[in-house]
């Protein structure tokens, strides 16, 4: 099990190498999912204002019986928040909903509002303003680390050009057959940890014959292969599930993919269609 393994962020804060994603898990159902995951050994829970389940995540952390200081909780500033004032209010809102004195990591969910995600306007000024609010909350001890999500190189450069505190994380869509090497390399050069959301390609990897064959070779599931792939690239995978059996399997990744097989997986044909999920902006851009 990988529960005890951690990365160290640029500010010295340790972050567990595997997180539990909670997207599309309702506020009601997420309480039990989070509590069970923590009791099983998970110490990293990822939520967002947009998921509308921060209240449930906070309750789940409490219900687990594990001390708060042992759990790493991430939430995200809504993509539509592009002013300092709105960001300050939103940070306070998350603290209240989670019912926590501090949040371990808070990130800007997207450089653009979701409704405008595929448009050309970069919202540079709005992102700098939202970042200023995160910096302020970080310096005040309300946030232990701050970061970004879905930020491309130009978006990152915008923040890096003016920030007082550098981003510690960039959470991006990354999985076998869709691994943005240039963006990942840029983040690593800037000492920004890359977190990989949707490591299973929102289910599309389960349909891929080459990925299935590789998983069979290592006598593991496609899910386990996908998570191990991310870890060997130095990324932090965030698989989403409310199923305890899947939670347990996702953490059982103590095998090693060979260099040649990693190269093969990195060069698989890119998934061009995420099926019913293609309407989500992040999948529609691929």
Active site residue 84: no
Q: How far apart are CA 224 and CA 255, in angstroms?
A: 9
Q: Which residues, including other chains, have CB under 8 Å from residue 278's CB and lie 6 or more apart?
A: 284
Beta bridge partners of 171: 149, 195
Q: Are 129 and 83 in contact (CB under 8 A)?
A: yes
Q: How far apart are CA 37 and CA 23, in angstroms?
A: 15
Q: Are 121 and 112 in contact (CB under 8 A)?
A: yes
| Token pair in block for residue 184 | 């990942």
**Half-sphere exposure of 264 toward its Cβ, with a 13 Å CA cutoff?**
11
CB atoms within 10 A of CB 85: 10
Candidate list 7, 42, 51, 102, residue with the active-site label: 51
DSSP 277: G
- Active-site residue set: 51
């Amino acid at each position: 099990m990988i529960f005890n393994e951690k990365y160290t962020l640029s500010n010295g804060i340790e972050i567990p190498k595997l997180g539990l994603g909670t997207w599309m898990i309702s506020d009601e159902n997420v309480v039990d999912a989070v509590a069970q995951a923590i009791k099983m050994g998970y110490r990293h829970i990822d939520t967002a204002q947009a998921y509308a389940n921060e209240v449930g995540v906070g309750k789940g952390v409490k219900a687990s019986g594990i001390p708060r200081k042992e759990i790493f909780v991430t939430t995200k500033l809504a993509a539509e928040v592009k002013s300092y004032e709105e960001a300050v209010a939103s940070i306070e809102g998350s603290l209240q909903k989670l019912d926590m004195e501090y949040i371990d990591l808070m990130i800007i969910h997207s450089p653009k509002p979701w409704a405008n995600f595929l448009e050309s306007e970069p919202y540079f000024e709005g992102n700098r303003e939202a970042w200023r609010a995160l910096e302020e909350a970080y310096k005040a001890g309300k946030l232990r680390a701050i970061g970004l999500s879905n930020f491309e190189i130009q978006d990152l450069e915008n923040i890096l050009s003016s920030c007082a505190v550098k981003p510690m994380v960039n959470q991006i869509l990354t999985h076998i057959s869709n691994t943005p090497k240039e963006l990942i390399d840029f983040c690593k050069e800037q000492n920004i940890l890359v977190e990989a959301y949707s490591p299973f390609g929102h289910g599309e990897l389960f349909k891929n014959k080459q990925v299935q064959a590789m998983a069979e070779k290592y006598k593991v599931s496609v899910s386990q292969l996908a998570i191990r792939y991310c870890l060997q690239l130095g990324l932090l995978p965030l698989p989403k599930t409310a199923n305890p059996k899947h939670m347990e399997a996702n953490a059982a990744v103590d095998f090693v993919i060979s260099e040649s097989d990693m190269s093969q997986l990195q060069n698989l044909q890119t998934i061009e269609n995420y099926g019913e999920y293609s309407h989500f902006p992040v999948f529609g851009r691929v």
